[in-house]
Amino acid sequence: NEGALWGARFAGGPSAALAALSKSTHFDWVLADYDIAGSRAHATALNAAGYLTDDELSGMKSALDQLQADVNSGAFVAADSDEDVHGALERGLIERAGAELGGRLRAGRSRNDQIATLIRLYLLDHAAIIAGDVTALIDALAAQADAHPDAIMPGRTHLQHAQPVLLAHHLLAHTWPLVRDLERLADWRERARVSPYGGGALAGSTLGLDPQLVARELGLARPSENSMDGTAARDVVAEFAFIATMISINLSRLAEEIILWNTREFGFVTLDDAFSTGSSIMPQKKNPDIAELARGKAGRVLGNLTGLLATLKALPLAYNRDLQEDKEPVFDSVTTLEVLLPAFTGMVATLTFDTERMAELAPQGFSLATDVAEWLVNQGVPFRVAHEVSGSLVRACEIRGIGLEDADDALLAEVSAHLTPEVRSVLSIEGSVASRNGTGGTSPAQVAIQRKTLAERLEAL
Ligand code: ARG
């Protein structure tokens, strides 16, 4: 087993079948930069504890610099014989620093504490990229809200017309879950900024190395409190996978609405040509593929989370090779979001809204019936009665095939003596929306306040 990280106690090398199963370089190579950063920090700790002279440390560091440059240029890549990124990079180091010096670096560390640290470094970097992408999407939604301060649309529950709302209110409703995702990432970050390095295989090291120094060199807040926990826990990976899932599910809910809004039947939005796709057979088609891919990828990212949790379930302490299965799912979630979010944001930023169509549909489906009931409450009628009166008016109008606003004085009086002609003051979508002026409501005044609060919450992140 020439050049491998282990082998002396074995009579022969691993079977080809085992090597094929065990190999992880095809996916863990993305951790190469972090592995080298870990080695640099570890060399510093070995020097501080007297295991490397200053000369040896500088020799080690220049060999690691050379290795990093060769990894960057592609001059150094994993060989077929390498089991994982750690083994490959130790081989690369020895090729550059010689077996004598290169062979000293592994003292006091294990791939178990290495990998547990590297996955955190990777996720911290990508969490920052994803947070930036999510912020850009929030900004695009807010910009669309700002561009349509007065537009009114049908607000729905059960996908049925419910009450008119401002388009801006609806768009901002999609920003808040994303703001909470950003807050979740910020909160997760504090738990993730911990360094298992120094925990060794599971029990710590006899060499008196300073894990604080390694943590600091890697930009992490502190070492793990427990070497077994540090090397075997993956809740920090699962929690990241959950946040990624929540982001993709939040996207999928907006995606579903955009798909509906873009149908001929709704006709609420037009997609920009640059963010829609055609059909290979139907020349007229212009499809919302970005939104559909967002909807589809939410399933994929959710699958990554559930797969990872299934891997962790009932896994005994400490490190088990099962833990190698944490990487592909979470790497896939990261890549998926980093490709999806910019496209999704571009689609949202370039949506054209047909505000006339929305306003025309907003009062349909008797969506002002609650306004009638609440107008009656303002006249001193108990809500129970008001609800009945307004419901009777809906029924009377439905039978006649007219809208609430079309009911004449005689019909109003026939339904209830409480329904004086003054009720028409609330039978406009503008009046309805303006009157929902409580905190968090859809009135233009409340939406303007909400918009300011959104900016403040993003500022505080
Ligand atoms: N490649 C492994 C992982 O991703 C780390 C190596 C640990 N291997 C071992 N035999 N202890 O978790």
CA-closest residue to ligand 1 atom 11: 112
158 has catalytic annotation = yes
Pick the last residue of a domain from 82, 107, 132.
107
Least confident of 181-185, 220-224, 279-283: 279-283
Backbone angles phi, psi at 174, to 5 degrees: -80, -15
The answer on 191 and 98 residing in a single domain is no
**Spacing, Cα 122 to ligand 1 middle (Å):** 16
| 435 flagged as catalytic | no
ipTM of the complex: 0.95
- My answer on whether 241 and 325 are in the same domain is yes
Banded model confidence at residue 1, pLDDT cuts 50, 70, 90: low
User: Residue 322 pLDDT more than 80?
Assistant: yes
Query: Using a 6 Å cutoff on CB, does residue 323 contact ligand 1?
Result: yes
Å from CA of 112 to ligand 1 middle: 6
Q: Are residues 356 and 413 in the same domain?
A: no
pLDDT above 90 coverage of the chain, percent? 95
Q: Based on the domain organization, do 377 and 418 belong to the same domain?
A: yes
Domain termination site, one of 360, 392, 408:
360
Q: Do 174 and 161 fall within a single domain?
A: yes
Nearest-CA residue for atom 12 of ligand 1: 324
Of 41, 33, 99, whose CA–CA distance to 67 is shortest?
A: 33
Determine which one of 26, 73, 158, 280 is catalytic: 158
170 and 307 share one domain: yes
State the pLDDT confidence band at 337, using cuts at 50, 70 and 90: very high
Specify if 94 maps to a domain.
yes
Domain boundary among 81, 107, 133: 107
Dist CA 340 CA 275 (whole Å): 12
Do 413 and 350 lie in one domain? The reply is no
CATH of the domain at 354: 1.20.200.10
Q: Do both 177 and 278 map to the same domain? A: yes
> Cα(395)–Cα(378) distance, rounded to whole angstroms?
22
Residue 84 in contact with ligand 1 by CB distance below 6 A: yes
pLDDT for 376 beyond 80: yes
pLDDT in tens, 9-63: 998 889 999 999 999 999 999 999 999 999 999 999 999 999 999 999 999 999 9
Which protein residue has the closest C-alpha to ligand 1 atom 3?
A: 324
End-to-end Cα spacing for the chain? 51
Chain CA centroid to CA 430, Å: 36
Q: What is the pTM of this model?
A: 0.95
Residues 353-360, mean pLDDT to the nearest whole number: 98
- Ligand 1 atom closest to the CA of 24, numbered from 1: 1
- Is the model's pLDDT at 433 over the cut of 80? yes
Domain containing 45 equals: 16-107
Phi, psi of 438 (to 5 degrees): -75, 165
- 111: Cβ below 6 Å to ligand 1? yes
Cβ pair 236, 181 in contact under 8 A: no
* Amino acid 283: pLDDT: 86
Total tally of structural domains belonging to the chain: 3
Q: Are 179 and 457 in contact (CB under 8 A)?
A: yes
Measuring CA to CA, which residue among 423, 268, 435, 273 is closest to residue 354?
A: 268
- Domain at 36, CATH number: 1.10.275.10
Q: What angle do CA 417, 421, 426 make, to 5 degrees?
A: 110
- Nearest ligand 1 atom to the CA of 327 is 4
The alpha carbon of 49 and the centre of ligand 1 are apart by a number of angstroms equal to 26
**Residues 345 and 374 placed together within one structural domain of the fold:** no
| Average pLDDT value for residue range 256-268 | 97
Q: Kindly state whether residue 418 falls inside one of the protein's structural domains.
A: yes
pLDDT-based confidence at residue 2 (cuts at 50, 70, 90)? low
384: domain CATH number is 1.10.40.30
112 lines ligand 1 (CB under 6 A): yes
Classify residue 289: in a domain, yes or no. yes
Atom of ligand 1 nearest to the CA of 83: 1
Ligand 1 centroid – CA 325 distance (Å): 10
Is the CB–ligand 1 distance for residue 115 below 6 Å?
yes
pLDDT at 8 exceeding the cut of 90: no
Is 424 in contact with 412 (CB distance < 8 Å)?
no
62-101 pLDDT, tens digit per residue, is 999 999 999 999 999 999 999 999 999 999 999 999 999 9
The answer, yes or no, to whether any atom of ligand 1 lies below 6 A from the CB of 24, is yes
